[in-house]
């Protein structure tokens, strides 16, 4: 039986308590996560396809399908842990991160990673949110998200339910925008983009499309954002009469700020040209090229939702076109669009606009990149960030754990802190582990009585003999094999003590418990 000193026994008890504390903390954390995430449905996910009808309208699964194999044939993926991984992806300048409806705010490390992804790696990012959960990222680009919806008395669309008009909601805003062009005069008519125009960058750069928002907030480019290295464009904004409904729907309430038309941004695009990267596809091309990093901030995540992305779902959910009688004399988006005699200014879902924007951001027309690459959408990647969503109670603990691990191993400072802590723990372990001589083999019959179910009394004598043989072997610095090869006479010459020799080789001799205790004490003293 292996015996330890009192100090060592206390140490074991401490370690046991620490382990127990860790297990309790882990269980409590898991329980809290499960409780807080229970009864919460995942919405605005690119991968939820089996929810009930109303819930399904709030997903972005149709967007994923239209961009992936069933549509434009981009390589579509997702990240479940953290967007800090963006800079580890291959070909970042041909990769787009899409963040829709972040329910969990970004931390500074994640925001820095996204900023570097755009400004240093030439990556593409679209962030759509109607809350301040995206503010940490926005601050890196000198952009501000407001914390309340926009109310626009001049530019809102109508919705019906089974043919019956629902109460008008001035928070359901529409806008007219180009994917890469800004009109100085907000009342100037813009050429309506036809289907043919959307396939040609020389044409879609000059035309515009209507966009419907569900309940956008406002985004604003800060005045100190005078950065000559980037091109900033407010592609869509509310009218001059719009205000931020912080308290109520009263435009005269001083607590509801009026920002002005161009300052009440709905879509802001920032491009960072002239970034040198290595573009390669095995067997096709490898070399440095100049690319443009791009990020687009959208003031409403619902622009990607199925009920606004797809015209069929939009029609079912009652979105009315401009020719509807429910608009009466109020302006509709056709007031800002020129149809060039085609008679068509219809809104066909937000899909047309944002698919075209994605194409433009991906630089399919970059002449420095091989046409073998740019001609195939399958050479470009779109990654949906699912880590910002509240997940199910079952998967949430695992998702949070993965995110924590990635964060700890991705941040340089945290990485070095972990390494230093591991080195410190290893050093402490080396210092506190007892030396070999602090351990000794002791066969104490009182211990045997404490464990009658584990130790057979018939084994007392054999185990005491084993204790003696182990002591002799260690004293003479012999291996187990060397000890086995020793003859009885050789062993007796090493032991020399007649009483101990009798213990080893007498088969007729029996011992009482008291005698065995005395022999154990004698074995301890032997060799000293």
3-state secondary structure of 97: strand
pLDDT score of 190: 94
* Nearest CA-CA partner of 352 in 389, 293, 311, 384: 311
Alpha carbon distance 293, 275 (integer Å): 7
Per-residue pLDDT for the chain (528 aa), expressed as one digit of tens each?
A: 444 444 445 545 556 666 676 677 666 655 554 444 445 567 788 887 766 677 888 899 999 999 999 899 999 998 877 778 777 788 899 999 999 999 888 989 899 999 999 999 999 999 999 999 999 999 999 999 999 999 999 999 999 998 899 999 999 999 999 999 999 888 899 999 999 999 898 899 999 999 999 999 999 998 765 567 899 999 999 999 999 999 888 888 988 989 887 789 999 999 999 999 988 765 556 688 999 999 999 999 999 999 999 999 999 999 999 999 999 888 999 999 998 777 789 999 999 999 999 999 999 999 988 888 899 999 999 999 988 776 544 444 444 444 444 454 555 565 566 677 667 776 666 665 555 444 444 445 445 444 444 556 677 788 888 888 888 888 888 888 888 888 888 888 888 888 887 888 777 778 888 888 888 888 888 877
pLDDT score of 431: 60
Interior CA angle at 391 toward 172 and 77, to 5°? 80
Judge if pTM exceeds 0.85. Answer: no
Kind and range of the H or E run holding 271? strand 265-281
Specify the length of the chain in residues.
528
DSSP-assigned letter for residue 508? S
Interior CA angle at 21 toward 16 and 23, to 5°? 95
For residues 499 and 468, the answer to whether their CB atoms sit within 8 Å is: no
The pair phi, psi for residue 267, each rounded to 5°, is -140, 125
* Nearest CA-CA partner of 333 in 166, 161, 182, 158: 158
Q: Work out the number of other CB atoms within 10 angstroms of the CB of residue 262.
A: 15
Kind and range of the H or E run holding 294? strand 285-298
**Partners of residue 231 on adjacent β-strands:** 271
Largest Cα span, the chain: 122
Alpha carbon distance 137, 271 (integer Å): 16
Strands (DSSP E) contained in 326-470 are 337-338, 381-385, 440-441
pLDDT score of 37: 45
Strands 219-221 and 440-441: unpaired
pLDDT score of 36: 47
For residues 97 and 383, the answer to whether their CB atoms sit within 8 Å is: yes
pLDDT score of 525: 84
pLDDT score of 440: 47
Token output for 28: 């409590």
**Spatial CB neighbours of 156, under 8 Å, sequence gap ≥ 6:** 168, 169, 170, 171, 172, 173, 174
């Amino acid at each position: 039986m292996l015996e330890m000193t009192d100090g060592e026994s206390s140490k074991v008890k401490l370690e046991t308590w620490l382990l127990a504390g860790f297990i309790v903390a882990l269980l409590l954390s898991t329980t809290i996560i499960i409780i807080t995430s229970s009864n919460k449905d995942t919405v605005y996910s690119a991968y939820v396809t089996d929810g009930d009808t109303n819930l399904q309208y709030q997903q972005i699964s149709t967007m994923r399908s239209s961009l992936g194999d069933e549509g434009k044939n981009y390589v579509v993926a997702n990240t479940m842990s953290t967007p800090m991984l963006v800079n580890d992806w291959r070909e970042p300048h041909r990769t787009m991160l899409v963040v829709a409806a972040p329910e969990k705010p970004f931390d500074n490390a994640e925001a820095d990673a996204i900023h570097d992804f755009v400004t240093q790696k030439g990556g593409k990012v679209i962030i759509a949110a109607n809350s301040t959960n995206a503010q940490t990222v926005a601050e890196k680009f000198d952009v501000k998200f407001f914390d309340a919806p926009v109310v626009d008395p001049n530019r809102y669309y109508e919705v019906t339910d089974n043919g019956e008009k629902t109460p008008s909601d001035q928070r359901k805003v529409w806008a007219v925008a180009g994917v890469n062009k800004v009109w100085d005069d907000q009342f100037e008519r813009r050429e309506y983009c036809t289907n043919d125009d959307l396939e040609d960058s020389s044409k879609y750069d000059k035309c515009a499309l209507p966009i419907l928002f569900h309940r956008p907030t406002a985004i604003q480019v800060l005045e100190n954002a005078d950065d000559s290295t980037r091109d900033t464009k407010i592609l869509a904004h509310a009218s001059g009469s719009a205000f931020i409904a912080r308290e109520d729907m009263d435009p005269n309430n001083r607590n509801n700020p009026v920002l002005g038309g161009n300052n009440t941004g709905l879509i802001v695009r920032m491009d960072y040209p002239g970034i040198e990267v290595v573009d390669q596809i095995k067997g096709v091309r490898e070399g440095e090229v100049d690319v443009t990093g791009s990020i687009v901030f959208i003031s409403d995540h619902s622009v990607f939702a199925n009920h606004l992305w797809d015209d069929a779902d939009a029609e079912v959910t009652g979105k009315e076109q401009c020719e509807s009688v429910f608009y009466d004399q109020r302006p509709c988006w056709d007031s800002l669009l020129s149809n060039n005699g085609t008679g068509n200014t219809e809104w066909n879902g937000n899909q047309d606009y944002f698919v075209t924007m994605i194409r433009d951001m991906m630089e399919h027309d970059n002449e420095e990149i091989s046409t073998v690459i740019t001609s195939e959408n399958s050479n470009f990647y779109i990654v949906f960030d699912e880590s910002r969503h509240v997940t199910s109670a079952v998967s949430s603990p695992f998702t949070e754990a993965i995110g924590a691990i990635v964060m700890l191993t991705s941040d340089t400072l945290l990485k070095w802190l972990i390494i230093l802590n591991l080195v410190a723990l290893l050093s402490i372990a080396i210092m506190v582990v007892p030396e070999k001589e602090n351990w000794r083999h002791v066969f104490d019959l009182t211990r045997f009585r404490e464990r009658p179910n584990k130790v057979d009394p018939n084994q007392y004598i054999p185990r005491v003999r084993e204790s003696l043989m182990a002591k002799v072997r260690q004293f003479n610095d012999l291996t187990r094999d060397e000890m086995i090869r020793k003859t009885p006479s050789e062993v007796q010459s090493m032991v020399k003590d007649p009483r101990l020799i009798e213990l080893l080789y007498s088969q007729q001799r029996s011992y009482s418990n008291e005698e065995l205790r005395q022999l154990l004490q004698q074995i301890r003293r032997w060799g000293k």
